[in-house]
Structure 1
Amino acid sequence: MNKLMQLLAVITLIISANANASWFGSDDKPAAKQDNKVYSLKLAETWPSNFPIFGDTTKNFKQLAESMSNGRLKIRIDSKNKHKSALGIFDFVKSGQYDLGHSGSYYWKGKDINTLFFTSMPFGMTTSEQHAWFEYGGGQQLMDKVYAKHGMKSIIGGSTGNQMGGWFQKEINSIEDLQGLKMRIPGFAGEIMAEVGAKPTNVPAGELYTALDRGTIDALEWVGPSLDLRMGFHKVAPYYYTGWHEPGTELQFLINLKKYNSLPADLQSILTAAMKLSAYQMYVQSEHESAKNWSTMKKDFPNIKVKTFPKSVFDALKIANEKLLAELAAKNPLSKEIIQSQASYLKKARAWSAISDQAYLNSQSK
């Protein structure tokens, strides 16, 4: 069991004990008065109703929060179909229209550039490395600093793991092949692609297949086999590239701080523990679905050509990444603090990853 799950298990045991015990502290102290008030919270999610994996995560969160609180927390989930604004979650929670949200932090870079860093950064940390940074490397404290200015708190909301680099209609053999390429790619990776001459664009999920099929875009990245298979991209873009841009994509739960601070302390703990436990469930579900769907893709669609960008392309992307990060750091002191924190932790964590997971996987491929 890794350190994150050990922590979550301890939190859950403490919460369960406190919620069900008739006393707190030593036997000779009077029992603490139980707050039996029911607190109803509304959560808005970016995803449509019954969206696989991502939507399962909010359902798991609701079940955990309500169960661990013995019904003192009641969660209502409104999907995109209900609130009609997939990318309105930040404003919903900030304003108090919704108490909670589930989305991706990098969607809010236009509102606050420092929200960008807490989803996944190109050439950055894997999921396990990033979770360690959040829990023990100062990541959560930096995220608190960013979101507190907006009256919110952000908690990890589930990882997709390492995302694939995307579906391409043509093979990429050199950096010149990216010149003028129209690609759906969000976040900082989109800015990097623009820096090397591509034309990043944003297309709603429901229009992605049609846009790729009709040539409105030449390529797109979505997630990985866990969610890509059902979208059918392999039918119109045979080249499937390995990842570089989102090595550990972490969704987020958003909490309105005013609402959070109004809750009893035990319910605050239950709320955040339920978020972290459902985030863990999403990660292992993503790993499972990707493994299962990749097996199906290899068997049923042998024409899919799995590729990795040539070294010359990676080198150009890395140079663009370093240039843009340096520009961000020069403009914004908090950006600089976050960038330096991530770089420092990555250096430390990757040295261990290299002689543990990477060395093990390399030995198995021989």
Structure 2
Amino acid sequence: MSKSGFVTRTLAIATLLMVASTPIQAAKVYRLKLAETWPSNFPVFGDAVRNMAKMAEEMSDGRLKIRIDSKNKHKAPLGIFDLVKGGQYDMGHSASYYWKGKVPETLYFTTMPFGMIAPEQYGWFNHGGGQELMDKVYSKHGLMSFPGGNTGNQMGGWFQKEINSLDDLKGLKMRIPGFAGEVMAKLGAKPTNIPPGELYTALERRTIDALEWVGPSLDLRMGFHKIAPYYYTGWHEPATELQFLVNKRKFDRLPKDLQQILKVAMKTAAYDMYIQSYNDSAVNWEKMKSDFPHIKIRTFPKEVLQALRRANDELLKDNARKSPLAKEIIQSQQEYLNKVRVWTNISDKAYLDSL
């Protein structure tokens, strides 16, 4: 072997030994901060957030870590929109209809009175143009919004007094957010929105006369049955979808694979929350019937439901006139509902009616 060949080989071996002895650089870890509307360790809603964060970390092999701050930490349960938009937090978990005072078109993406049930609404979001319309609304604010978990059909609420006529709604102080609150106001009620942690105290102290929260999955834990005897069936939130809010600039800085992992984690956690909520409502409803037989289940009288529906239709027409974007969303939802409800009626409803 020539001298030059020997030197070249020696240098090559030395280079290989140096590379082999150099520690492999650890993969970069991306850390996100999430603010949720709910208190610490809140069941169902909070479970969805924790499940999402866990899945994102596991699927990314630890490269994506999400820190969760509940309302106890950030002190702004109904301020998640601003926290994420302003960049104090990278993500949020809340409900879109809480932002109707800031951006009126956001309220349509939680649920609508007399609207779609959960499977229908998931169809609209994922295959009927709902996600694209939500993108259209939130992108103007540097935000991305994704379905964040569905409660299914919610109960109509807890009332101190029985509702026998439209007169009983006049002056009624009720915690009821979203479009349903506007419907109630049109019939003379006084709707308000109160964070979850303050609901029991408000009802107990008669600051409000009634409230709607979710259903047995969460209402039993809140203890409303101890202070309000009448529990009404629902009309106002047939498919309440929470939301994952994401700061778009932060999302765009993530590697493409982590963007997809985050999307998959959010979508999976959202649907799993729907399943959990359905199960927990069934379990807790059984407990309510056996342990608290004093609870009086009621359905609003026909004249009240008819008036609520008329008010709902009138408000939808008014909103469509005021905002072209609202009109686009309302039309999309109504057209999809008209199509999908035919199938719901000849499948699930026909089956249940035959039992």
Q: Counterpart of 2:319?
A: 328
Separation in 1 of the partners of 2:265 and 2:28? 19
Q: Counterpart of 2:197?
A: 206
Which of 207, 219, 227 lines up with 2:218 in the alignment? 227
2:181 aligned partner, one-letter code:
G
Which of 175, 194, 200 lines up with 2:185 in the alignment? 194
SS at match of 2:141: coil
Counterpart contact for 2:39–2:197, Cα < 8 Å: no
Deviations 1:245-289 (A, max 9, x none): 100000000111111111111111100000000001111110111
Q: Counterpart of 2:304?
A: 313
Separation in 2 of the partners of 1:297 and 1:130? 29
For structure 1, which segment, 106-115 or 195-204, has the greater mean C-alpha deviation from structure 2 after superposition?
195-204
SS at match of 1:47: coil
1:41 aligns with 2:40: no
Gaps of at least 5 residues in structure 2 are: 1-24
TM-score if structure 1 supplies the norm length?
0.88
2:83 aligned partner, one-letter code:
F
Deviations 1:63-106 (A, max 9, x none): 10001111111111111111111112111111222111111000
Separation in 1 of the partners of 2:84 and 2:125? 22
Q: Counterpart of 1:27?
A: none
Q: Counterpart of 1:82?
A: 73
Q: Counterpart of 1:132?
A: 123
SS at match of 1:123: coil
Which of 56, 63, 68 lines up with 2:54 in the alignment? 63
For structure 1, which segment, 91-100 or 220-229, has the greater mean C-alpha deviation from structure 2 after superposition?
91-100
2:221 aligned partner, one-letter code:
R
2:31 aligned partner, one-letter code:
S
SS at match of 1:356: helix
1:115 aligns with 2:132: no
Deviations 1:148-183 (A, max 9, x none): 000111111000111000011221121111111111
Once the two structures are TM-superposed, the CA of residue 210 in structure 1 deviates from its matched residue by 2.8
Once the two structures are TM-superposed, the CA of residue 215 in structure 1 deviates from its matched residue by 2.4
SS at match of 2:203: helix
Separation in 2 of the partners of 1:204 and 1:280? 24
1:42 aligned partner, one-letter code:
K
Separation in 2 of the partners of 1:90 and 1:138? 23
Separation in 2 of the partners of 1:148 and 1:204? 26
Separation in 1 of the partners of 2:159 and 2:246? 38
Q: Counterpart of 2:229?
A: 238
1:142 aligns with 2:152: no
1:351 aligned partner, one-letter code:
V
1:214 aligned partner, one-letter code:
R
Aligned CA RMSD, in angstroms, stands at 1.3
Separation in 1 of the partners of 2:249 and 2:312? 37
1:97 aligned partner, one-letter code:
Q
Separation in 1 of the partners of 2:96 and 2:227? 30
Distance 1:203 1:260, change over 3 A: closer
TM-score if structure 2 supplies the norm length?
0.91
Q: Counterpart of 2:17?
A: none
Q: Counterpart of 1:278?
A: 269
Which of 286, 289, 294 lines up with 1:303 in the alignment? 294
Separation in 1 of the partners of 2:294 and 2:340? 37
1:113 aligned partner, one-letter code:
P
Once the two structures are TM-superposed, the CA of residue 207 in structure 1 deviates from its matched residue by 3.0
Deviations 1:21-70 (A, max 9, x none): xxxxxxxxxxxxx9932111111111111011111111100110001111
Deviations 1:298-331 (A, max 9, x none): 0011111111111111110011101111111001
Percent same amino acid among aligned pairs?
71
Separation in 2 of the partners of 1:210 and 1:99? 32
Gaps of at least 5 residues in structure 1 are: 1-33
Separation in 1 of the partners of 2:67 and 2:207? 38
1:171 aligns with 2:162: yes
Which of 153, 163, 167 lines up with 2:144 in the alignment? 153
Separation in 2 of the partners of 1:318 and 1:105? 22
Separation in 2 of the partners of 1:185 and 1:104? 13
Q: Counterpart of 1:349?
A: 340
Separation in 2 of the partners of 1:258 and 1:144? 14
For structure 1, which segment, 205-214 or 95-104, has the greater mean C-alpha deviation from structure 2 after superposition?
205-214
1:266 aligns with 2:257: yes
SS at match of 2:217: helix
Q: Counterpart of 2:82?
A: 91
Aligned length: 331
2:348 aligned partner, one-letter code:
D
Separation in 2 of the partners of 1:319 and 1:287? 30
Which of 326, 331, 341 lines up with 1:340 in the alignment? 331
Q: Which one has the largest radius of gyration? A: 2
Counterpart contact for 2:77–2:195, Cα < 8 Å: no
Once the two structures are TM-superposed, the CA of residue 208 in structure 1 deviates from its matched residue by 2.2
Once the two structures are TM-superposed, the CA of residue 235 in structure 1 deviates from its matched residue by 1.8
